[in-house]
């Protein structure tokens, strides 16, 4: 089984998004005013690193498919890819349009959360393309689980944005 160029491209783009997202989260976890926002952003930075590692492992496995895999007896294997990521199923999240502009140097909590939501939305859209492009069930499940992770992150950020903006309205 040969690795798909499209799948490898999606993996590489995903790695880029995860790296940029992590860098953004690490930077802004220290600058936001709200402690709950800082805690969530810090947690998401750790999650992005995990996703990056998952993608790097998949990329390595996909690239190894460029050469025919052989078992110890010398016969080709059916599917040389083993995905060992076990995750929970998460709730479905609506897909509203969100902020996608550039960050100001002194961005407030709302702008940080909105930009974070944009990172998560980009990941969701990309990994859905991975689901559609995957030809084998294990790959589809891998990308679907990443979609579920990112949708959960998006939901947490949306809840936090609702709480932060509601608190501002009330005060």
Per-residue pLDDT of the chain (171 residues; tens, 9 = 90+): 455 789 999 999 999 999 999 999 999 998 999 999 999 999 999 999 999 999 999 999 888 876 654 444 443 334 444 444 434 444 444 443 443 444 445 568 999 999 999 999 999 999 999 999 998 898 899 999 999 999 999 999 999 999 888 765 655
Beta partners for residue 62, in sequence order: none
Rounded-to-integer distance, Cα 45 and Cα 23, Å: 8
Q: Cα angle vertex 133, ends 131, 134, to 5°?
A: 65
Tell me the DSSP string of 22-47: HHHHHHHHTT-S-HHHHHHHHHHHHH
pTM of the predicted structure, to 2 decimals:
0.73
**CATH 1.10.1380.10 for the 5-170 domain, yes or no:** no
Q: Helix, strand or coil for residue 70? A: strand
Indicate if the alpha-carbon torsion angle 138, 84, 17, 38 is positive or negative.
positive
Listed by start position, the domains of the chain span 5-170
């Amino acid at each position: 089984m040969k690795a798909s160029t499209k799948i490898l491209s999606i993996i590489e783009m995903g790695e880029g998004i995860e790296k940029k997202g992590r860098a953004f989260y690490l930077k802004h976890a220290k600058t936001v005013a709200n402690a709950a926002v800082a805690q969530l952003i810090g947690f998401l930075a750790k999650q992005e690193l995990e996703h990056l590692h998952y993608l790097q492992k998949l990329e390595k496995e996909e690239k190894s498919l460029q050469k025919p895999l052989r078992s110890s007896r010398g016969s080709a294997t059916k599917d040389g890819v083993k995905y060992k990521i076990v995750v929970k199923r998460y709730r479905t999240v609506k897909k509203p349009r969100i902020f996608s502009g550039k960050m100001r140097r002194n961005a407030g909590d709302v702008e940080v959360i909105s930009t974070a939501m944009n990172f998560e939305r980009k990941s969701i859209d990309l990994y859905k393309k991975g689901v559609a492009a995957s030809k084998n069930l294990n790959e589809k499940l891998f990308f679907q689980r990443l979609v579920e992770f990112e949708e959960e992150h998006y939901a947490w950020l949306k809840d936090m944005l609702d709480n932060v903006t509601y608190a501002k309205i009330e005060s």
